[in-house]
Protein backbone atom coordinates (compact mmCIF):
# COMPACT_ATOMS: atom_id res chain seq x y z
CA UNK A 1 0.00 0.00 0.00
CA UNK A 2 1.43 3.36 -1.02
CA UNK A 3 1.24 6.10 1.62
CA UNK A 4 -0.87 9.07 0.59
CA UNK A 5 1.66 11.62 1.81
CA UNK A 6 4.29 10.39 -0.71
CA UNK A 7 7.03 10.39 1.93
CA UNK A 8 6.44 13.96 3.04
CA UNK A 9 6.20 14.71 6.75
CA UNK A 10 2.75 15.30 8.13
CA UNK A 11 1.75 18.78 9.14
CA UNK A 12 1.86 19.23 12.91
CA UNK A 13 -1.43 18.60 14.67
CA UNK A 14 -3.31 21.77 15.46
CA UNK A 15 -4.79 21.94 18.92
CA UNK A 16 -7.56 24.36 19.69
CA UNK A 17 -7.35 23.28 23.32
CA UNK A 18 -3.93 22.42 24.74
CA UNK A 19 -3.50 19.12 26.56
CA UNK A 20 -4.22 19.44 30.29
CA UNK A 21 -1.34 19.45 32.77
CA UNK A 22 -1.68 16.20 34.70
CA UNK A 23 -1.01 16.31 38.43
CA UNK A 24 -2.24 12.89 39.63
CA UNK A 25 -2.82 9.38 38.31
CA UNK A 26 -4.51 6.52 40.14
CA UNK A 27 -5.29 2.90 39.35
CA UNK A 28 -8.49 1.14 40.38
CA UNK A 29 -8.88 -2.61 39.90
CA UNK A 30 -11.78 -4.98 40.50
CA UNK A 31 -13.10 -8.31 39.27
CA UNK A 32 -14.88 -6.44 36.45
CA UNK A 33 -11.74 -4.73 35.12
CA UNK A 34 -9.37 -1.85 35.71
CA UNK A 35 -9.63 1.89 35.37
CA UNK A 36 -7.03 4.65 35.35
CA UNK A 37 -8.01 8.08 36.68
CA UNK A 38 -6.02 11.11 35.54
CA UNK A 39 -6.52 14.46 37.29
CA UNK A 40 -5.49 17.73 35.68
CA UNK A 41 -4.43 20.90 37.46
CA UNK A 42 -7.71 22.60 36.50
CA UNK A 43 -9.76 19.81 38.14
CA UNK A 44 -10.74 17.78 35.10
CA UNK A 45 -10.89 14.00 35.55
CA UNK A 46 -10.21 11.58 32.71
CA UNK A 47 -11.16 7.93 33.15
CA UNK A 48 -9.60 5.19 31.01
CA UNK A 49 -10.76 1.57 31.09
CA UNK A 50 -8.32 -1.24 30.29
CA UNK A 51 -7.48 -4.81 31.18
CA UNK A 52 -5.46 -5.12 34.39
CA UNK A 53 -2.08 -5.84 32.79
CA UNK A 54 -2.32 -2.89 30.38
CA UNK A 55 -3.59 -0.56 33.10
CA UNK A 56 -0.76 -1.51 35.49
CA UNK A 57 1.86 -1.01 32.80
CA UNK A 58 0.42 2.37 31.79
CA UNK A 59 0.04 3.66 35.34
CA UNK A 60 3.63 2.78 36.26
CA UNK A 61 4.83 4.85 33.29
CA UNK A 62 2.54 7.72 34.26
CA UNK A 63 3.72 7.68 37.88
CA UNK A 64 7.36 7.74 36.77
CA UNK A 65 6.65 10.68 34.45
CA UNK A 66 4.83 12.61 37.18
CA UNK A 67 7.61 11.93 39.71
CA UNK A 68 10.23 13.02 37.18
CA UNK A 69 8.65 16.48 36.92
CA UNK A 70 9.12 17.25 40.62
- Tens digit of each residue's pLDDT (9 = 90 or more) over 27-69: 999 888 899 999 988 899 999 999 989 989 988 988 888 788 6
Residue 47 lies inside a defined structural domain of this protein? yes
10 pLDDT exceeds 70?
no
Instruction: List the domain range (segments joined by +) for residue 32.
Output: 22-68
Name the domain count of the chain. 1
Residue 59 lies inside a defined structural domain of this protein? yes
Residue 13 lies inside a defined structural domain of this protein? no
Among 23, 25, 19, residue whose Cα is nearest residue 55: 25
Residue 9 lies inside a defined structural domain of this protein? no
Overall pTM surpassing 0.85 (yes/no) = no
Residue 60 lies inside a defined structural domain of this protein? yes
Identify the pLDDT of residue 37. 92
- What is the rounded distance in angstroms from the CA atom of residue 17 to the CA atom of residue 29? 31
Residue 44 lies inside a defined structural domain of this protein? yes
| Secondary structure (DSSP) of 28-70 | EEETTEEEEEEEETTS-EEEEEE-HHHHHHHHHHHHHHHHHT-
Amino acid sequence: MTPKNHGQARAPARRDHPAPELIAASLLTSDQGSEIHLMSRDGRLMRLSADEETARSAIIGLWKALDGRR
